[in-house]
Chains A and B, each alone.
Chain A
């Protein structure tokens, strides 16, 4: 069965510090990998995706993600967190269909 895991329900980080939101997956084949962000009472917004090529993908708002095939991971990172980054983050994998993780709430404290 295909699955996507976001092992942390919540991540707390101080403004200005680097942040990492973790994602691992278990799928057959070569998936497309995505990160989405959801602000309160809003739909999900696309941040970035990996299809092929360079393992480090850069996306919107200064976010980047690192694809690691051997560890089947696709962690979201940002060098310096902002309070405005506080939101719910979803990892997603596409193999024929889309599979979403359960989400990680990011809290950035001033």
Chain B
């Protein structure tokens, strides 16, 4: 199906483990984003990418790593998970030709024990 997908939808891990959240879009949008959603904070930008092999930090990048070797994929890695990274993570994509409207994936609920 066309659109933007995230996997896994739910993940439980332990402190110190490496976790990778996947994001895939089928629109060939140039921009992709990772956000985390926490109660009281709304959405906070972690990293974004303007194109393949171009990434930049957002508001809360510490503890996260991203890569974008292909336009359609934008994985987010927590190198050593901490309890403070328990959150809901959303991936989004946009295209400047579309007026920068962002389209969001369904989210990944991550729990770090």
Contact = CB atoms under 8 A, between A and B. Distances in A.
* A in complex with B: yes
Interface of A: 6, 32, 34, 36, 41-46, 49, 51, 90, 92, 94, 97-98, 100-103
Given A97-B45, A97-B58, A98-B45, A44 B104 contact: yes
Interface stretch (B11-19, B61-69, B78-86, B94-102): B94-102
Contacts of A34: 101-102
DSSP majority for the A interface? strand
What's the dominant secondary structure at chain B's contact region? strand
A14 to B, nearest CB: 26
B43 A100 contact: yes
Give the 8 A-B residue pairs with the shortest CB-CB distance, closest first: A43-B104, A102-B42, A100-B43, A44-B104, A43-B106, A100-B42, A103-B42, A46-B101
Nearest to B56: A97
Contacts of A90: 42-43
